[in-house]
Chain A
Amino acid sequence: MIILELENVSKSYSNKKIIDNISFSVDQGEIFGLLGPNGAGKTTTLRMMLDIIKPESGNIKVFGKDLDPNSKDRIGYLPEERGLYKKSKVIELLVYLAQLKGMTKIRAMENTVNLLQSVEMLELKDKKIEELSKGMQQKIQFIATIIHGPDLIVVDEPFSGLDPVNTQIIKNIILEQKKCGKTIILSTHMMEQAEAMCDRILMINKGMIVLNGKVGDIKNEHRNNSIFLEFEGDLNSIEGLDQIENIIRHGTHIEIFLKDGHDVQSLIEDIVTRVRILRIERSTPSLNEIFIKIVKGVSS
């Protein structure tokens, strides 16, 4: 089921196109990564999904219809630029934010206590926000995002400023939510996180879509036709093979590029007969490498 759909959406600020005619959709129950370099238009896209700003042209449908106050209550949003009322007490603030999402006070109170417990912060419920450390404040912000049990969770750079332990805690909560059938849109420029968590990704650069699809498919698509090889034996015996285009030496190992139309499988079979293999690996680029390649390619 499609939870969110953007159709030919554009937005410009003072005559500069920030988002240029983009379309994509997000399915229920997936973690959808919205990636891109700084200034690519990620936050603008998210804000339009949440009706915080209006698109100039195009259509946005959430839960199958145009965005209305009711569907807004079913979305949880963690903005990149985030803060809390410094003077408020943790529990009062969370209950208030949940009420603004249409919850009753009693339900809001219940959820607050449960979630605080799950991140081991219940004993801090009567502390003022300003008395908490930065990491704790970020956890409170994350709780505020899911306090009303939203069906769609939109998080913008959720891990920025968190230490590894807290990153893991937040990550686990996100995966937990996914297990419950919730849909998550994760916007980040940290590719390792996206690679580890996302089912599908959409990469935008300068307001345009440059990549869209399953993480595995994208990686396959951007795979170089090459293998890494560490071996004992004579390099010359390999160099003679006619399906090889080029060989690059990387210290302890070499990278072998194949000619177009040749298969890695048959190359490996040929190599096995010539040298003693210590390690062999198909070269698969990380999302990070693809990201850098694409961003550089577009700008050059």
Chain B
Amino acid sequence: MIPSIGHASILVGLGLTVYAAVAFVLAARGGDSRLSVSARRAVIGSFVAAAVGCAAMVISLLTHDFGVRYVAENNATTTPPFIGVISLWAALEGSILFWALLATGWASLVLHRYRDRYRQLMPWAGATLATINAFFFAVMVWPGNPFALTSPVGAEGTGPNALLQNHPFMALHPPLLYLGYTGLAVPFAFGIAALATRRLDEEWLRVVRRWTLVPWTFLTLGIVAGAWWSYEVLGWGGYWAWDPVENAALLPWLTATAFIHSAMVAERRGGLKIWTSALVIATFVLTLVGTFLTRSGIVASVHSFTQSAIGPWFLAAILVALAGSLTLLVWRLPGLIGGGRPSGTVSRESAFLLNNVLFLGLTFAVLFGTLLPLLVAATSGDTISVGAPWFNTVTVPIFVALLFLMGVGPALPWGTASWATMRERFTIPLILAVTVTAAALALGLRDAASLGTLGLAVLVGAVMVDEVVRGARSRARSRREDPATATWRLATRNRRRYGGYAVHLGVLVMAVAVAISSGLAIDRTVTLAPGETASIGGYEVRHEQLVVEALASDRRVIETRAEVTYTGPQSGSLRTALRDYPNSQAAIATPAVRTSLAEDLYVTLLASDQATGAVTLHLFVNPLVVWIWIGGAIVGGGAVFAIWPERRARRVAVEHPQRVPAEPSVEGA
């Protein structure tokens, strides 16, 4: 019965979203607000339908209902309840159901929030969102039915994918990522609405500011969580392999970041209409491309869901979305042209625009590298690889240039920057950067990438600190506040700017951590009998014993475990294992990571000899890795700070107690 309820809820969801799309279009053209209201309610209804569907699937997983094919393939009687719940998004059909839940959630939220505002934009935005959601429901009705039944019903299921059971991050990484992907449909919908209604001024940019930042934050955290999970689970000691599906998540992030920056310029100076519209279209299409690459089976990847009939559907969606939005853009082109040229060649605007050029260059490079094997195979039949060496060589210079711009851009004024300003702003940071780099060189650091990143980081960091200190000092002086209060008050009244500083600081921390952890990592492979020791980077690692036993939490899993003690900057014991899952060909490595602020000691079990108890271990010392995750958290925190609503009325009144507010507060999202 539960599967039938689930299936019915999907059908209901399809019906409601189709109705909503049609009703919104009619309301947009005819101006009938009752249709709008009805359509909005239908979208909220589709969210409820998706929620019921997810609940039905989770119940089926928890009750081990192997009559449902998805449950039979992803669950077993020995599966712990926590894993059972997160298996909702573990495989193809369930992940689309989860996607539909989040997508309808975003649509309902934005439609409800603006039910009394932006009356020209909302029907078209609503129609776009409803159409997108209708597509996902349609995929679940036809090629990818999560509630498809199987017979005969087995007594036992295959169990979840082994890789997904090893780490609690499986609970975190997909939801964060999906919240990002689905949320980026909202700015796209507003872009379409702005183009459709010819309301091509900055209003839509103001509306979507927060509706872009929030999903962007989720996407950032989702990508960082994925890298962290990869590092902790996969056992090769790295966190980013330029795998096609990793790239697929990065692509919309790059264009979304570019959009956030150019939208700031467009909002302030006008213009850039074609550019910002194109960016928001590209971001949404890239989320579809990413989903397609993961689910179609046309590229081999760590992540690939099995090839299925869903591929052609997603390809059709990509082409329709791209063709439709581009047609609309080209149609409205005459109204979009003009304006936006920055007055100064060196100015914050031009820095932001250069930032966009670099981000789009990165997007092109990553897309090119990901699709090149496909292109070569399609044209010549040869197979080639484009792997980490190519991606690193091509993208690192662009990242470095972006890092430099990240420091320079916010310090430049809007409009033209004079030579005097630049001298004033950059001299001391330049001196500091030079000193630190020289000191590092003198202390023996020879790795070029680490030196360069360190120097840049000091430059960028010093410029940022200078900005904050200037502002605080000026305010402290004029209001007689102490520096701390002055800084806090300034920050909370300029959340976008100071949130931006925090985000850039987080990026800086991540950049330095990535450069140093890649450049200065050391590793070795050793074979140790029980009692033998090996040394690496200041640590002494001693193999104590080899243990083979079934896991307490899931007795079908056999774990071959090396128990190891270590001394050095950190001391203690750790266990690293290879786990044999019944439904997996190869044994799954569970590396052991001992993290400190300075470095990680990382141990993977490669092979073992049960007769002698000897083990072959791959040992790593990875410096500063934890700062990548800390940097990611700072980025997230900074974004949240920027998004947090300012107290508007107070802002105007406090600064000018005699002045009556000149206008009603600017409507914020």
> Are A and B part of the same complex?
no
Q: Name B residues whose Cβ lies closer than 8 Å to a Cβ of A.
A: none
